[in-house]
Chain A
Amino acid sequence: MNGWILAAAVTLGGGVGATVWGVATGPLRRRAVAQNLCTAFACPALLLLSQGYDRPSYVDLALVLALLGPVGTLVFARLLADELAEDPPSAWGLTYAAAAVGAVVVPALCVAVGPSRAMAKLLVVGVLLIGGNVVASRALSGGFPEVRRG
């Protein structure tokens, strides 16, 4: 057991646990935001696990999640556009907090991995994670009118 696995356990228990509770209770807009933030917390957890188990191939899991998680949120934003339009979710504080978790974990892992192609891969995953999170949050709060009309 090392610090990385402990950090992953804390991120999972605290972050993903909070999103599980948020997606199971409350109004629709809170559930949609919780589903979005689940990706934002699980992806750093997977990166930490990859470092903790010393298996660089687990970074591919975080990469796929960083790509597919926002796609799932965009699916909900598109198909639930009518129900969300009357009560748009806006949880920018939580979104930025989740982005901050990613922004703390990725540089820490980059330092641990050392300058190499693996560090470049981590940076790409971090950029995709934060970018995807912002795009999905904006789509949830109804911020892409061209898409909604089409």
Chain B
Amino acid sequence: MADAVIVVALLLVAVSATAAVAVRDPVRQALVLSVLGVVLAVLFTVLQAPDVALSQLAVGSALTPLLLLLAVHKVKRRGRKEGRHR
């Protein structure tokens, strides 16, 4: 019955990954990706790979959304500057 928790973790990963693809706006996608990172880390833990889960937590919970949001920020700012010049 330890398989039950593996099934739950796999379902959560499937649902959040599908949501990450289905959400179109990058800002909202960053939020979904943060949750996906945590859920992936839980999946790795349940599959008895705690060191992989540790690396996944370090990268996926804060770093990936930060990079995404900074990129969106820069693109928006450049677009606004170009709009003003035009």
Q: Does A38 count as interface, using CB distance less than 8 angstroms?
A: yes
Q: Does A128 count as interface, using CB distance less than 8 angstroms?
A: no
Contact A16 B42 (CB under 8 A): yes
* Chain B interface mostly: helix
Number of A-B contacts (CB under 8 A): 121
Q: Which candidate, A53-61, A92-100, A111-119, A141-149, is the interface stretch facing chain B?
A: A53-61
When the two chains form the complex, which single residue of A9, A20, A53, A61 contacts B19, counting CB atoms closer than 8 Å?
A: A20
Q: Does A71 count as interface, using CB distance less than 8 angstroms?
A: yes
Task: Known A12-B8, A68-B57; judge A31-B31 contact (CB<8 A).
Answer: yes
Contact B45 A24 (CB under 8 A): no
Contact with B along A18-46 (1 / 0, CB 8 A): 01110110001001101100110010011
Contact A24 B32 (CB under 8 A): yes
Q: Does A1 count as interface, using CB distance less than 8 angstroms?
A: yes
Contact B54 A64 (CB under 8 A): yes
Contact B12 A17 (CB under 8 A): yes
Contact A72 B65 (CB under 8 A): yes
